[in-house]
């Protein structure tokens, strides 16, 4: 299956916010085709005009217009100076129309403001460039704005911090949509040091915290509990594991917080084959909604009532 990746282009966009995801998805396609596989992605730029001028003067010839492209599997909105595109009704209408049918909608940096202006992002967990997080939270108070994270995967909506974080997020999307093997091969081909662990605009905090939030579909509690119990047992055997806490909100949101001594330990867990398989099964069978954030030990959030770790029903 070849997925169409549509990247919005507009005047004064940040060049690497646009080019970073473009490079990731097109490189992944070259690597896959070199292996004799079908092209996983077809990448198209889209705008309301034939050309756009990015920040610092880079001119981009656009592939399609809003009228020409009415479907995409993945939509990516770069950041930059977004004040004009936030008021461009044709761009916002296109995002709403195509975003409704897309498998994923993503943004880089201040692209989150465009998604919010379009009403595509409303109450989800999101992130943006560290300089703009307070402004995003003030202008769109219903959004759950995350700080000091590289990217946030909130299911259909995935957002990243600035510039290079968009490359990290795009590699995550390659893994999510295709395979870990292709994502790692893409990063290697790009000579890129893929940073999956969040880091703010300063030294990396230690320990590193993973926060996983989810809501379950009806009737899956027992099967989910067995998988969660096995993952809880497994993570405790990982080098660098510190502790694990569970919370259950009154309205049914499940929260798991796992601490590791450092980024390398967290990365090893995120790459563990059984953990990846459990996450994929959860997306396929268990979750009606989920959200993953990775950050430093200063990550703070008020959750519901602490509960005991899950126990297998076996």
What CATH topology corresponds to 3-189? Rossmann fold (3.40.50)
Q: Where in the chain is the domain with CATH 3.30.70.100?
A: 208-307
Q: Which of 200, 176, 186, 157 is nearest to 270 (CA)?
A: 176
Higher-confidence position of 8 and 239 = 8
Q: What is the pLDDT of residues 85-129, one digit of tens each?
A: 999 999 999 999 999 999 999 999 999 999 999 999 999 999 999
Average of per-residue pLDDT across 161-190: 92
Alpha carbons 133 and 80: distance in angstroms, whole number: 14
pLDDT bucket at 17, cuts 50 / 70 / 90:
very high
Alpha carbons 230 and 205: distance in angstroms, whole number: 28
**82 pLDDT exceeds 60?**
yes
Residues 6+ apart with CB under 8 A from 221: none
Residue 293 has what pLDDT?
Answer: 75
Residue 200 has what pLDDT?
Answer: 44
Q: Which of 187, 5, 155 is nearest to 78 (CA)?
A: 5
Decide: residue 110, CB within 10 A, 0-12 exposed, 13-18 middle, 19+ buried.
buried
Q: Check: CB of residue 62 under 8 Å from CB of residue 45.
A: yes
Q: What is the pLDDT of residues 246-295, one digit of tens each?
A: 888 777 788 888 888 777 788 888 889 999 899 899 999 999 988 887 76
Residue 196 has what pLDDT?
Answer: 63
Residue 209 has what pLDDT?
Answer: 78
Quick one: what percent of the chain has pLDDT higher than 70?
90
Q: Which of 180, 237, 244 is nearest to 212 (CA)?
A: 244
Average of per-residue pLDDT across 174-183: 90
Q: Where in the chain is the domain with CATH 3.40.50.880?
A: 3-189
Residue 150 has what pLDDT?
Answer: 86
Alpha carbons 240 and 55: distance in angstroms, whole number: 42
Residue 207 has what pLDDT?
Answer: 65
Residue 252 has what pLDDT?
Answer: 79
What CATH topology corresponds to 208-307? Alpha-Beta Plaits (3.30.70)
Average of per-residue pLDDT across 34-44: 96
Mean pLDDT of the chain: 87
Question: What is the 8-class DSSP label of residue 239?
Answer: T
**23 pLDDT exceeds 90?**
yes
Q: How many CB atoms lie within 10 A of CB 72?
A: 24
Alpha carbons 198 and 271: distance in angstroms, whole number: 15
Tokens standing for residue 95: 């995002």
Give the E-state strand segments of 81-139 in sequence order: 104-108, 125-126
């Amino acid at each position: 299956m070849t997925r169409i990746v549509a990247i919005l282009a507009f005047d004064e966009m940040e060049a690497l916010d646009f080019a970073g995801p473009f490079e990731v998805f097109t490189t992944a396609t070259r690597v896959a085709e070199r292996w004799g596989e079908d092209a996983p992605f077809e990448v198209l730029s889209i705008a309301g005009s034939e050309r756009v001028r990015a920040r610092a003067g880079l001119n981009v010839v656009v592939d399609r217009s809003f009228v020409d492209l009415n479907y995409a599997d993945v939509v990516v909105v770069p950041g930059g100076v977004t004040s004009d595109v936030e008021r461009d009704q044709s761009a916002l209408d296109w995002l709403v129309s195509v975003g409704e049918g897309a498998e994923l909608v993503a943004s880089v940096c201040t692209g989150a403001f465009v998604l919010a202006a379009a009403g595509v992002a409303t109450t989800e967990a999101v992130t943006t460039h560290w300089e703009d997080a307070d402004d995003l939270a003030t202008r769109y108070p219903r959004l759950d704005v995350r700080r000091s994270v590289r990217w946030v995967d909130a299911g259909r909506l995935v957002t990243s911090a600035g510039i290079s974080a968009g490359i990290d997020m795009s590699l995550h999307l390659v893994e999510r949509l295709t395979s870990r093997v292709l994502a790692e091969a893409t990063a290697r081909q790009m000579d890129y040091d893929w940073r999956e662990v969040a880091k703010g605009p300063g030294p990396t905090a230690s320990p590193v915290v993973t926060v996983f939030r989810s809501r379950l579909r009806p009737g899956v509690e027992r099967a989910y509990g067995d998988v969660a119990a096995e993952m809880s047992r497994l993570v405790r055997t990982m080098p660098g594991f510190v502790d694990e806490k569970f919370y259950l909100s009154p309205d049914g949101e499940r929260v798991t917080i796992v601490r590791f001594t450092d980024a390398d330990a967290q990365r090893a867990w995120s790459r563990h084959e059984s953990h990846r398989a459990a996450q994929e099964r959860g997306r396929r069978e268990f979750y009606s909604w989920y959200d993953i954030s990775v950050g430093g030990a200063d990550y703070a959030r008020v959750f519901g009532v602490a509960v005991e770790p899950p126990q297998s029903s076996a």
